[in-house]
């Protein structure tokens, strides 16, 4: 077993291994600096390039901004499917699944006036449903539509309460 | 028999290195999607999922590249072995907690069961051990 490293060699190997990890970590963080900055400052994560060009772009809302809004000032909309919504959603949020928008839109329009302020979220991590729903509602005439891009994961991670079932 | 040893070593080194380069590249191209896959493990908080998703693929990529070009092989294999150990612990925690998610090991959205991913990681560990002890210590 002459290929077995000695103690000194093992120390050098571990040092080089640590250097590989450090170098790659710094490179990764530098290359993705913009994304990390967006996440840390609670800004939108989806790049506008991934959305259709020429469409209306909803404004992002960060977690601190959302928390500072007085209760009832905005209507929270959960763009995820019904099962996920029932498992847990932001307090007082209403479910409007993007996948069922065609069947649910008319009832929503009859119930919610177009001057109502809306904040839409979904599952975070690049989930596009909240953006797509926001764009659709803007096309339908809703003027103040914002997207909370961190969605349920960022909300839960901040230790904020989550409601189950219907609000 | 003596001629087989270097062939086995180079085969394991290139296979292991190539796999990690591939895994690193596909994940580095979609850091947000990869952050979602890490979030499915329910181990790290929201922001750390993004930090790991933006840095881990580059560690895999660099360590894999070093193996492919036959440079700093033992240190790179230590990194890969260490990563593999962490992956296996995370996958085992899924089994203990009864979570059935996609492992997020390679291509996002590829559905590999937790058990299959664990067996694959065990195979990678064997490749890493053969590569580590098969490498020329003077070139380590």
Q: What is the ipTM of this complex?
A: 0.91
Give the pLDDT band (50/70/90) at residue B42. confident
- pLDDT tens digits, one per residue of A44-90: 565 444 555 455 778 889 898 999 988 889 999 999 999 889 989 99
Minimal CA–CA distance to A122: which of A56, A70, A58? A58
Catalytic residue numbers of A read 122
Contact criterion met (CB < 8 Å) for B58 and A27: yes
Q: Test B79 with A21 for CB contact under 8 angstroms.
A: yes
- To test the contact with chain A by mutation, choose from B33, B54, B68, B128 the residue with the greatest count of A C-beta atoms within 10 A, namely B54
Domains of chain B: total: 1
Residue B140 lies in a domain: no
Q: Which of B55, B66, B101, B130 to mutate against chain A (most A CBs within 10 Å)?
A: B55
Q: Which of B45, B62, B135 sits opposite A23 (nearest CB)?
A: B62
pLDDT at B22: 96
Q: Is residue A27 within 8 Å of B63, Cβ to Cβ?
A: no
Asked if A41 reaches chain B (Cβ–Cβ under 8 Å), the answer is no
Q: B31-44 as b/e, with b when 16 or more CB fall inside 10 Å?
A: bbbbbbbbbbbeeb
Measured CB to CB, residues of chain B less than 8 Å from chain A are: 28, 31-33, 35-36, 39, 45-47, 49-51, 54-59, 61-63, 66, 72, 74-76, 78-79, 82, 133-135, 137, 140
Per-residue pLDDT reduced to its tens digit, A112-132: 999 999 999 998 887 888 999
Which domain does B84 fall in, by range? 4-135
Nearest to A165 by CA among A78, A98, A66, A102: A78
């Amino acid at each position: 077993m002459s290929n077995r490293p000695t103690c000194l060699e093992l120390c050098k190997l571990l040092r080089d291994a640590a250097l590989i990890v450090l170098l790659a970590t710094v490179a990764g963080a530098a290359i993705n600096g913009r994304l990390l900055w967006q996440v840390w400052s609670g800004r939108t994560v989806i790049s506008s390039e991934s959305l259709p060009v020429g469409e209306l772009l909803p404004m992002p809302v960060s977690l601190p901004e959302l928390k500072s809004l007085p209760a009832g000032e905005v209507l929270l909309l959960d763009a995820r499917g019904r099962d996920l919504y029932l498992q847990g959603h932001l307090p007082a949020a209403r479910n409007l699944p993007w996948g069922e928008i065609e069947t649910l839109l008319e009832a929503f329009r009859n119930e919610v006036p177009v001057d109502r302020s809306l904040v839409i979220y979904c599952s975070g991590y690049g989930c596009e449903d909240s953006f797509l729903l926001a764009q659709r509602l803007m096309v339908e005439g809703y003027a103040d539509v914002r997207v909370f891009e961190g969605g349920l994961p960022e909300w839960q991670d901040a230790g904020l309460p989550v409601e189950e079932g219907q609000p | 028999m003596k001629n087989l040893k270097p062939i086995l070593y180079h085969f394991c080194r290139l296979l292991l290195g190539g796999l990690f380069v591939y895994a690193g590249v596909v994940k580095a191209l979609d850091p947000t999607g990869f952050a979602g896959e890490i979030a499915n493990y329910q181990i790290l908080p929201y922001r750390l999922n993004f930090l790991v998703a933006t840095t881990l693929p580059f560690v895999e990529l660099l360590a894999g590249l070093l193996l492919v070009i036959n440079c700093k092989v033992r240190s790179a294999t230590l990194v890969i072995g260490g990563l593999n150990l962490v992956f296996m612990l995370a996958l085992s925690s899924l089994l203990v907690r009864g979570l059935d998610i996609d492992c997020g090991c390679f291509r996002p959205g590829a559905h590999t069961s937790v058990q299959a991913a664990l067996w694959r990681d065990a195979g990678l560990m064997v490749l890493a051990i053969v590569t580590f002890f098969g490498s020329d210590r003077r070139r380590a």
